């Protein structure tokens, strides 16, 4: 590492509150860098590939650059991306709309087009729904009495519905695209949007990347959703809208099951609220 950035002058732990997050900011003789330890080999492989193959096609500074990777320690040496965490900024409603429009534009470039995926990638993208269904069944078992019988039926209905939806537009998804992973750099000439944490990036149906937004930032804010799709360049197809409802149910039961090892009530409440909305829609 010192051969790349020079001798280390100071170290600061900048890990997030997320379980297994291990990230440090290093001030070195020649530059500021970040060292990230991936929690699993799968996450290491996903983030490494995304940074090597997808990030270079994005606007410079809007995503970290991979300076070095050590598969034995599952460590990545990253350049900083421009901007400050979006969650820390005092944004006006107009600023928020601009940020979501920029987020849509950024994500569209990140997803790429169908021709950017290999035959193996397309098979992997299709298999993600099989994994999602298996994960939902596991989370239903884990959640136990944390969800009601009606909520359990709601999830099971959406699991079955997901299996009835045909092929969907696929791309290379970020995997955890939400405001907690967004950066915004403001200047007199305008603002620049960026994103971090690509450890869940992989081939998938592109609609999977807006589940967190649909269940979070966009609730009660149709202006943000409209701005996002304006930036993205298209709206969801009818099949994608059906899939989004189903994936939201699966994400909700995952959030509720998350309470078992973590006791994170905020995430559990988010999951319960999502299921309540889906119960009304399917009633």
Which tens digit of pLDDT belongs to each residue from 34-44? 999 999 999 99
What's the mean pLDDT when you consider all of the chain?
Answer: 89
Instruction: Give yes or no for residue 260 having a pLDDT over 60.
Output: no
Of the listed ranges 20-29, 34-43, 71-80, 220-229, the least confidently predicted one is: 20-29
Provide the pLDDT confidence category of residue 102 given band limits of 50, 70 and 90.
very high
Which tens digit of pLDDT belongs to each residue from 199-216? 999 999 999 999 999 988
CA distances from 6 to 2, 12, 37, 148, 230 (A): 4, 17, 20, 56, 43
Which tens digit of pLDDT belongs to each residue from 137-189? 888 888 877 888 888 888 899 989 988 898 899 999 999 999 999 999 988 77
State residue 86's pLDDT score: 94
Q: In what order do the strands lie in the sheet with 8-13?
A: 8-13, 23-28, 32-37, 75-78, 66-70
Which tens digit of pLDDT belongs to each residue from 221-252? 999 999 999 999 999 999 999 999 999 999 88
What is the rounded average pLDDT of the residues 84-97?
94
Long-range residue pairs from 135-143, CB within 8 A, at least 24 positions apart, any chain: 135/250, 135/254, 136/249, 136/250, 136/253, 136/254, 138/257, 139/250, 139/253, 139/254, 139/256, 139/257, 140/253, 140/257, 142/257, 142/260, 143/253, 143/256, 143/257, 143/259, 143/260
The full set of domains in the chain, from first to last, is 2-78 (3.30.200), 84-282 (3.90.1200.10)
Residues paired with residue 70 on neighbouring β-strands, in sequence order: 75
* Dihedral sign computed on CA atoms, order 215, 217, 221, 222: negative
State residue 259's pLDDT score: 62
State residue 85's pLDDT score: 93
Instruction: Give yes or no for residue 33 having a pLDDT over 90.
Output: yes
Provide the pLDDT confidence category of residue 9 given band limits of 50, 70 and 90.
confident
């Amino acid at each position: 590492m010192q051969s790349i950035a020079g001798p280390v002058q100071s170290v600061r732990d900048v890990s997030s509150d997320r379980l297994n997050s291990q990230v440090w900011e290093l001030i070195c003789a020649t530059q500021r860098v970040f060292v990230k330890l991936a929690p699993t080999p799968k996450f290491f492989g996903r983030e490494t590939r995304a940074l090597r193959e997808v990030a270079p096609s994005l606007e410079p500074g809007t995503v970290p650059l991979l300076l070095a990777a050590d598969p034995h320690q599952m460590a990545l040496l990253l350049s900083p991306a421009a901007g400050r965490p979006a969650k820390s900024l005092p944004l006006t409603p107009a600023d928020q709309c601009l940020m979501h429009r920029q987020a849509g534009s950024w994500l569209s470039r990140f997803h790429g087009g169908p021709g950017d995926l290999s035959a193996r990638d397309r098979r992997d993208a299709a298999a993600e729904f099989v994994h999602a269904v298996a994960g939902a069944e596991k989370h239903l078992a884990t959640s136990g009495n944390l969800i009601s019988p009606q909520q359990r039926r709601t999830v099971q209905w959406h699991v079955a519905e997901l299996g009835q939806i045909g092929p969907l537009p696929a791309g290379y998804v970020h995997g955890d695209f939400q405001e907690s992973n967004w950066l915004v750099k403001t200047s007199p000439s305008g603002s620049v949007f960026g994103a971090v944490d690509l450890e869940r990036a992989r081939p998938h149906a592109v609609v999977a990347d807006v589940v967190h937004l649909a269940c979070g930032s966009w609730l009660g804010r149709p202006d943000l959703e409209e701005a996002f799709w304006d930036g993205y360049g298209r709206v969801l197809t009818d099949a994608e809208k059906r899939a989004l409802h189903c994936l939201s149910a699966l994400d909700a039961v995952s959030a509720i099951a998350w309470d078992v090892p973590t006791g994170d009530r905020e995430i559990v409440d988010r999951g319960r609220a999502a299921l309540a909305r889906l119960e009304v829609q399917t009633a």
